[in-house]
Structure 1
Amino acid sequence: MRLRNKPWAGEYLAENPQIVIQDPQSYKGKWHEIFGNDHPIHIEVGTGKGQFVTGMGRANPSINYIGIELFESVIVHAVKKVKESEANNVKLLNVNANNLTEYFAPAEVSRVYLNFSDPWPKTKHEKRRLTYKTFLDLYKEILVEEGEIHFKTDNQGLFEYSLKSFSDYGLKLTYISLDLHNSDFEGNIMTEYEEKFSSKGQRIYRSEVKYEKK
């Protein structure tokens, strides 16, 4: 994905601290203070322009959502969507997902969403895939017992790789669809990429897995 530089992005994020949380490390283990409640926390790793996390926030007011996006020039679009939605249960972090355990305490998150992640198709880049075992370790550290990962992609190769990675790790597969938009799945919230790919007739793959009891 080619990113257009937005020189104003950093300033814009700083002007919206009620949405883009500054110094997120200081809220590790205390995210309930940000939301003002003890509702479950779901995070989306790679939230992009924010259509999914904002839609989920509107649809599920009793769940707190945190969208995580590394690139300033992308997350600014998510900030605008959250502002327009007026959803007070959606926050954003402009941080690197490699450092999740710096921002969340053990068992602080109930679910992780991975939507249309970069497939990193070259073998030498396998460790960058968000379903690689080191990332599964990270998610395990912050998730509650039997916490879940919900995964969507248009990339068949990444989907097959991820299913094997989940299985090798010992995760329990609870849902799978090889053609989500022609399935009986209800309540699907689409991302921007999902709308684009599905409009071209491409299949959308989806799976749900959870960590087994310790």
Structure 2
Amino acid sequence: MRLRHKPWAKDKLREYSEYVVQNPENFKNKWSEIFQNNRPIHIEVGTGKGQFIYGMAKANPDINYIGIEMQDSVIVSALDKIIEEPLSNLKLLNVDGSNLRDFFAKGDVDRVYLNFSDPWPKKRHEKRRLTYKTFLKLYEDILVNNGEIHFKTDNQGLFEFSLMSFSEYGLLLKFVSLDLHNSDFENNIMTEYEEKFSSRGQRIYRCEVQYQNK
């Protein structure tokens, strides 16, 4: 699907700096200054239009959420949701998720959400998958000890690859569902892609994994 370019998006993201953190590298190890509290921080890498992260923040006011999306023409839709109904526990970052170490120190983040990431199906592109071992090290470098990754996808191949990648890295599998919407999992917040895929009868895969203290 071709992304519709919105040339005004960058200016709007700068205009609403109370919701979109500007110069986030300045808040590495200082995110309590942004949220004005020391509550746990959960981030979504590749937040898209923000339906999931907004829904999570609204449902869990005692947790701070950060939606990370590099495409300004996409994340501006997430910003629109916050403008319409502001949430004090939700911020956005218009940055590249592969640079997380620039914005977060070890222990800044309690949980990482990866939802419907690009599957990069060709073998030669596996290093680009957000569940590849170099990305798992990236998340480990910003998560608290025993931090978690929660992962959802409609792509069976990516899910199988990810389970293997998690296992080889030494992560603990806490939850695995091969058909989320026909399981007893409660309080599921759907992404835009999830709504579209599930409405077509496509199976949704989900897992929760945890890092182990070394």
Letter in 1 for 2:162: S
Distance in structure 2 (CA, Å) of the matches to 1:84 and 1:125 = 39
Q: Give the alignment's TM-score, normalised by structure 2.
A: 0.99
Distance in structure 2 (CA, Å) of the matches to 1:136 and 1:85 = 34
Aligned equivalent of 2:9: 9
- TM-superposed CA distance for 1:85, in Å, is 2.8
Aligned equivalent of 2:103: 103
Distance in structure 2 (CA, Å) of the matches to 1:163 and 1:83 = 37
Aligned equivalent of 2:172: 172
- TM-superposed CA distance for 1:4, in Å, is 1.0
1:38 partner SS: coil
Letter in 1 for 2:112: V
Unaligned runs of 5+ in 1: none
Residue identity (%): 69
1:56 partner SS: helix
Aligned equivalent of 1:49: 49
Distance in structure 2 (CA, Å) of the matches to 1:132 and 1:21 = 28
Matches within 5 A, 1:3-82: 3-82=3-82
Letter in 2 for 1:69: E
Matches within 5 A, 1:90-169: 90-169=90-169
RMSD of equivalent CA atoms: 0.6
- TM-superposed CA distance for 1:20, in Å, is 0.8
Unaligned runs of 5+ in 2: none
Q: Give the alignment's TM-score, normalised by structure 1.
A: 0.99
Distance in structure 2 (CA, Å) of the matches to 1:192 and 1:82 = 16
Letter in 1 for 2:75: I
Aligned equivalent of 2:181: 181
Count of aligned pairs between the two proteins: 214
2:203 partner SS: coil
Letter in 1 for 2:104: F
